[in-house]
Structure 1
Amino acid sequence: MSFTRLVTLAAVTAAVLAGAPALAQDRIKMKAIGQPLATGLIQKNKEQPFFENFAAKTGLPIDVDYKPIDTLGVKDTEQLRVMKAGLFDIVSLRVSQNSRDEPTILGLDLVGASPDYATGKKVAKAYFDTIDARLQQQFQVKLLGVWPFGPQILFCKKPITKLADVKGMKVRVYDQNLAKFIELVGGTPVPVSFADTHQSLSLGVVDCAITGPSSANSAGWPEVTTHQLPIGFQMALNGYAMTLKAWNSLKPDQQAKLKAAFEAQTEEIWKYSEELFQDALNCNAGKDPCTTGKKYKLVNVPVTPADLDLVRSAVSKVSLPAWAEVCDKSNASCSQKWHATVAPVLGLK
């Protein structure tokens, strides 16, 4: 090979090698925390596929390393802290579980405020900007969407005919707002993580527990309970959020595409969650149609008008005052902003 050809070949090779990192750098890598595997079908059928096909879903050169939180060794109560520390870029935010670190976000899902999907959607829309601003200020995290697991209902291993029957029973709860309500009806609230609830019911640590019917079905709660009372205490609203560092690294047109993709994703989950809710109630009670879960034989306890009134009254009697007291201590304008945005949606003065 002539010297000239050798030099030319070396130059071409150098150019290719120099260009390779640039091509590789064109793709953006992000790390995401997902919902626990144990929560079931929304995580499995909607969330995981969204993140695993993130580039196609968003039309952006972004590859996401998605991990359900119960595979990471990170507690679901620590999501905002690990985001603020810069350990992850995107989070599927568990609202109630992280409300101790930021009480403002619990205003999204006060007990009794969102008894059905239509109301829950209105509350989420009305309160979205307030939460987004607070998360940006306190944790450098931007809110990109809000979606529901669906109405959180009661499962018991002892016979019940109405909500008041939990008096004297130990009830698994997942946030302080719900705990205050259980105290109101005479039960003893016991904070237990979702992953530990099946065992807690089995061992008698708790007599009853609250979650959505689909999550309960996926986690096998009907194996260790006998009754379900399908009254919605909360909508179990959750969110998708991204660190401001990751958000600001994107160009304005990329941000617009990303925002649109998350809005489409959350809208899809709203629809899917509502379908799952009724189907899972059927599955738990051993009725048809049951297409999304395993059939069990729980007693389906009829919801009485008195039960409905009791839950609806929780907003003004318990959940709003208790939450406002805690939230206003860490965020002076907290309850004031809730009254300005969410209260009109619920017809509260």
Structure 2
Amino acid sequence: MKKIKVNVICAATCLFASLTASNSALAQKTHELTFSTYLPPAYEYVSKPIEQFINEVETESNGRIKINYFHSGQLYDGFGELSAVSRGDVDIVNMTGVYPSGSVPALNIFTLPFLYDDTAHLRRSIDAGILDLGIRQELSEKHNTVILGVGPWDPYEFYSKKKPIIKADDIKGQLWATSGSGDARAFQLLGGAPGSLSSSELYLAFDRGVIDATVRPLLTGIGRNLYEVVDYVSLSTFSIDISLLAINKEKWESLPSDLQAIIVRAAKNRDNDQYARVDSFIDEAISTYKSHGLKVNKIAPAEVSKMKELTAPAVDEWSSKVNRSEEYFDIIEKTKSH
């Protein structure tokens, strides 16, 4: 009788030890994630925060998360990133808002012309919940994608080769490289001839005379060496796009809660780092352009107002197609510095 009792106790002890070891192994499981971005390391105010995000996640998780990082479009270009993360072909992406806006039209709120004053205004609108009017939900429910963080680009400005953009009439008749439907429609209304090109194609397009001008952030000009093939930069704060750090929803839900918490903290730190870098970058970029012999002009407020008036139909058309559009505009208006 005693022998049976001892055997039962031993069996129970072994079972407990086995379950404990199993749970411990599960807790220590390494989660390998693939991170893809079309952006090159030369885009430093985006790439450096991404690198820090990866380092923080791997360090704070004590190696339980391993992130394989692919940049410069090694896996997907800007237009393909949302589909790739939605399918689970990659786990994490850093999307520029304009590229997935064809699938999520509400994202065009960040590339519609002349809505934002500066990056501080953009941040206030995000903190006020502008992404929660439908963008976050649509990405999750229709595209299997969870937003981890949101950072800024510096404002989109005018680059031109033949002549400077000083007034609205200077846009007419020029061949414009655009990146989304929102800016393309705006340039139609301004009398330009728009055509979609990714940032990686701009240098050759300018060099070969395929395009006359484009509207892009100052970072694009630095990262893609556009100062070698254009002669003018004109400042107007045409728009300010966002940098979306996002993860495949199924992959996200498969991660233990403690690892999710580490990723969320690292994503927030990444956002803060990118805002700080953008703020210091703008003046540096302008100085760099001038040092390369480019003529940098600031478009007069009266001409910006005229451009805004001429492109208002693009804003109205977007508004008619997007749910809760008036709430988007209310947030933008209420978060102006006044």
2:127 is the counterpart of 1:132: no
After superposition, residues 327-346 of structure 1 pair within 5 angstroms as 327-328=321-322, 333-335=323-325, 337-339=327-329, 341-345=331-335
| Partner residue, 1:298 | 294
Q: 1:42 to 1:35 in 2, by over 3 A?
A: farther
Match of 1:79 among 81, 85, 91: 81
Structure 1 residue 135: Cα displacement: 0.8
CA, structure 1 residues 343+155, in 2 after alignment: closer, same or farther (shift >3 Å)? same
| Residues 1:172 and 2:177 are matched in the alignment | yes
Q: Which amino acid aligns with 2:49?
A: K
Consecutive unaligned residues of structure 2, counting only runs of 5 or more, are 1-17
What percentage of residue pairs aligned between the two structures are identical? 19
Partner of residue 93, structure 1 = 95
Alignment of 1:22-171 (within 5 A): 22=25, 26-37=29-40, 40-56=43-59, 61-72=64-75, 74-125=76-127, 126-130=129-133, 131-160=135-164, 162-164=166-168, 165-171=170-176
Q: CA deviation at 1:142?
A: 0.9
Shift of 1:284: 0.5
Q: Does 1:214 align with 2:209?
A: no
Distance in 1, matches of 2:269 and 2:307, equals 31
Give the Cα–Cα distance (whole angstroms) in 2 for the partners of residues 118 and 311 of structure 1.
22
Greater relative contact order (Cα < 8 A, sep 6+): 2
The one of 183, 191, 197 equivalent to 1:192 is 197
User: If the length of structure 1 is used for normalisation, what is the TM-score?
Assistant: 0.81
Q: How far 1:314 sits from its partner (Å)?
A: 6.6
Aligned residues: 314
- Alpha-carbon RMSD: 2.6
> Which amino acid letter does the alignment assign opposite residue 297 of structure 1?
G
Q: Give 1:38 shift.
A: 6.9
Contact 2:175–2:193, Cα closer than 8 Å, also in 1: yes
Deviations 1:257-316 (A, max 9, x none): 321211111111011012111101110011xxxxxxxxx11011132122332355477x
Question: 2:10 matched to which residue of 1?
Answer: none
Q: CA deviation at 1:256?
A: 2.6
Amino acid at match of 1:345: T
Q: Give the SS at the match of 2:124.
A: helix
Distance 2:332 2:217 in 1: 23
Aligned counterpart, 2:313: 318
Task: Say which SS state the counterpart of residue 298 (structure 2) adopts.
Answer: coil
C-alpha distance after superposition, 1:171-226 (max 9, x if no partner): 11111111122122221112111111111111111111121223202211111111
Equivalent of 2:304 in 308, 318, 337: 308
